[in-house]
Structure 1
Amino acid sequence: MSFPELKLGDWTQKVRGNLVPNQLLSEITWFRVGGPAQLFFQPADEEDLAFFLKNLPEDIRVTTIGLGSNLLIRDGGLDGVVIRLSARGFGNVEVLDRHRLRVGTALPDARVATAAANAGIDGLTFYSGIPGGIGGALYMNAGCYGTETRDRVVELRAVTRQGEIVNLTNGDMGYLYRKSNGPRGAVFTSAVYQGVPGEPEAIKAAMKEITERREATQPIRSKTGGSTFKNPDGHSSWRLIDDAGLRGFKVGDAQMSELHCNFMLNTDAASAHDLETLGETVRNKVRAKSGIELRWEIRRMGHFPPGREVREFLDGDVFTGAV
């Protein structure tokens, strides 16, 4: 399917970044599924992004996506504008005084961990174990192995939906477990992290250990979106899934990993519908087995094609947008 062209006016001629109508989002998500973006925008830099958002009519939906790792875009695609920041415009790293690091939000998390290690800054090794980019990490308070984004980020820079460039503090983000409550619609462009002094070789050794642990326990070389469900209080999602007999469970070419059963995989040619149906089937069966309702960690967004809707727990409400 495709969307009708957005008629935005002559002001778009002053935009320096790339504007692409009906860009297939399956090409940039780790699951390799998803329909088109009505208009796909990669700004040249922060000023270009601010100009675009300031001039874009308020009634046009704007969705920002990062590297596409923790994201399931439905087969009907996304209307409005989809913004993705490029490494060229938003991939900088700057070492600051007092063991701080300023990074652009298009950088992969692992690149930030490496940059910190090279500078002798400890405390960011956990990012070497998280797929995806810094923009997504800031949005969802990404973390692993006992450390979360909120533990290290001290300030952020963003462009609001109205095109205003703003500076934010950690407190402005209202961080919770795998969630933030910052300014609605803001696009994060950079962040400053506070680390602690460390020896580069010792930090790199710790990062290597994290990487080896991930490779041994997670299907990181598959078409996956990382952890599918958040851990309920006092429980591990993978154990609840395993106890329900769902390790390796499949819907079409969508499968819960044999290696780590809280990871969904696109084993070949799964659709977004297959993957979301698999997830809701797992939620249904886990609830029936344990009484516990798993909550999605993977962000799902976009439109269902007609007749291909997926209901919560397979029998509840139809999702209509990002969750």
Structure 2
Amino acid sequence: MIYDLPAVRGTLTPQKDLSALTWLRVGGPADWLFQPADAEDLSAFLAALGPDVPVFPMGVGSNLIVRDGGLRAVVIRLSQRGFGQIEVNGLEVTAGAAALDGRVATTAAAAGVDLTFLRTIPGSIGGAVRMNAGCYGSYTADVFVSAQAVLRDGTLVTLNADDLRFAYRQSSVPDGAVITSVTLRGVSGDADALATRMQEQLAKRDATQPTKDRSAGSTFRNPAGFSSTGRADDVHDLKAWKVIDDAGLRGARRGGAQMSEKHSNFLINTGGATAADLEGLGEEVRKKVYDSSGITLEWEIMRVGDPT
């Protein structure tokens, strides 16, 4: 698709193959990839971009399937150089949205601030806010202070927790908005003890998850529990891997896609999988789990773009 794009100080690339930018290594091209130099460059670009031009903010591709036909949009991806800085001020940690979750955790820990739950979460801190990423019973919402963002019309804004309405594995970031930096507040801790805890977390992750395979983390959200009144609540004692196992789908395959033998809620590219293989296997799992247990699994991995 042809767009009338404004001049930028960053980088604009036409027909950018997105497969190399996703952890699953699948997907077709974006019409354009925009990598802004800084927040002001991003703001000016969006302000001048026609409102009818679709945009898609993309993190590091750790929780994403881009379909084989690619994306008819301008994909916006923040760079480590422009948006990867991390600063610690007392118990508050401010990180550019492209900073990796693990690096935020280790930088904070070295300064005696406990954000250790982020250490084993794949992706960037901007994505962690969008998904309300969590681990070991802690969520991004628990430590969130504020985020800087650029809205689709180019306006620079500060978003607080009320704006984002955090819920399980989701938040309400405005459509087309790009988070540029995040401020979190941890609790005080001993730096050595925090480092030890993170090493233990990494060892536990490596022992239970297919960290050496091409995956996008957990494929499906854990099913919601039910309160004593029978209404769905935010209890997630029932695990997605368990209902997948109960349906006999550990190790299930389609083309080059597989539900991991090591952890059955991890969808992996064994080599040569297409996006259609991966999404198709996921949908097959959802159907068979529903047929087996009556539970509808909800995707945690985002799927975007055209099938062909």
Q: Under a length normalisation based on structure 1, what TM-score does the superposition of the two structures give?
A: 0.90
71, 74, 79: which one pairs with 1:81?
A: 74
Shift in Å, 1:186: 1.1
Shift in Å, 1:162: 0.4
2:302 maps to 1:275: no
Query: Are the equivalent residues in 2 in contact too, given 1:5–1:21 (CA < 8 A)?
Result: no
Shift in Å, 1:185: 1.7
Structure 2 Cα separation of the partners of residues 94 and 156 of structure 1: 14
State the AA in 2 paired with 1:240.
V
Structure 2 Cα separation of the partners of residues 54 and 6 of structure 1: 15
Question: Which stretch of structure 1 is more off in the superposition, 223-232 or 175-184?
Answer: 175-184
**Equivalent residue of 1:213, what SS?**
helix
Q: Write out per-residue CA displacement over residues 199-221 of structure 1, whole angstroms, 9 at most, x where no aligned residue.
A: 10000011111111110000112
Shift in Å, 1:194: 0.5
Query: Are the equivalent residues in 1 in contact too, given 2:3–2:53 (CA < 8 A)?
Result: no
Q: Which residue does the alignment assign to 1:231?
A: 222
2:184 maps to 1:196: no
Q: Which residue does the alignment assign to 2:106?
A: 114
Give 1:1-323 correspondences, 5 Å limit.
Answer: 4-8=1-5, 11-12=6-7, 15-97=8-90, 99-122=91-114, 124-234=115-225, 235-305=238-308
State the AA in 1 paired with 2:282.
G
Structure 2 Cα separation of the partners of residues 184 and 173 of structure 1: 12
Structure 2 Cα separation of the partners of residues 202 and 172 of structure 1: 35
**Equivalent residue of 2:196, what SS?**
helix
Q: Tell me, which stretches of 5 or more residues in structure 1 are unaligned?
A: 306-323
Q: Write out per-residue CA displacement over residues 215-267 of structure 1, whole angstroms, 9 at most, x where no aligned residue.
A: 00001121101000000023210000001110000001100000000000000
Shift in Å, 1:54: 0.4
Shift in Å, 1:148: 0.4
Shift in Å, 1:147: 0.2
Structure 1 Cα separation of the partners of residues 161 and 199 of structure 2: 29
Shift in Å, 1:184: 2.2
Structure 1 Cα separation of the partners of residues 11 and 95 of structure 2: 22
**Equivalent residue of 1:115, what SS?**
helix
Structure 1 Cα separation of the partners of residues 173 and 2 of structure 2: 31
Q: Which residue does the alignment assign to 1:317?
A: none
Structure 1 Cα separation of the partners of residues 127 and 88 of structure 2: 21
State the AA in 1 paired with 2:103.
R
Structure 1 Cα separation of the partners of residues 71 and 170 of structure 2: 22
Shift in Å, 1:304: 1.1
**Equivalent residue of 1:277, what SS?**
helix
Shift in Å, 1:182: 2.8
Question: Which stretch of structure 1 is more off in the superposition, 18-27 or 230-239?
Answer: 230-239
Count of matched residue positions in the alignment of Structure 1 and Structure 2: 296
Structure 2 Cα separation of the partners of residues 156 and 301 of structure 1: 25
Query: Are the equivalent residues in 1 in contact too, given 2:149–2:156 (CA < 8 A)?
Result: yes
Q: Which residue does the alignment assign to 1:310?
A: none
Structure 1 Cα separation of the partners of residues 290 and 2 of structure 2: 43
Identity rate, percent: 53
Structure 2 Cα separation of the partners of residues 287 and 76 of structure 1: 29
Q: Write out per-residue CA displacement over residues 3-29 of structure 1, whole angstroms, 9 at most, x where no aligned residue.
A: x44333xx41xx110000000000110
Structure 2 Cα separation of the partners of residues 183 and 250 of structure 1: 36
State the AA in 1 paired with 2:157.
V
Structure 2 Cα separation of the partners of residues 71 and 126 of structure 1: 21
**Equivalent residue of 1:79, what SS?**
strand
Moved over 3 A (4+): none
**Equivalent residue of 1:103, what SS?**
strand
Structure 1 Cα separation of the partners of residues 4 and 163 of structure 2: 35
Structure 1 Cα separation of the partners of residues 273 and 197 of structure 2: 36
Structure 2 Cα separation of the partners of residues 252 and 184 of structure 1: 34
Query: Are the equivalent residues in 2 in contact too, given 1:6–1:39 (CA < 8 A)?
Result: no
Q: Tell me, which stretches of 5 or more residues in structure 2 are unaligned?
A: 226-237
In structure 2, do the counterparts of structure 1 residues 53 and 72 end up closer, same or farther at CA, with 3 Å as the change threshold? Answer: same
State the AA in 2 paired with 1:29.
T
Q: Write out per-residue CA displacement over residues 158-200 of structure 1, whole angstroms, 9 at most, x where no aligned residue.
A: 0000001101112210000001013222100001110111110
Q: Write out per-residue CA displacement over residues 131-172 of structure 1, whole angstroms, 9 at most, x where no aligned residue.
A: 111111110100011000000011110000000110111221
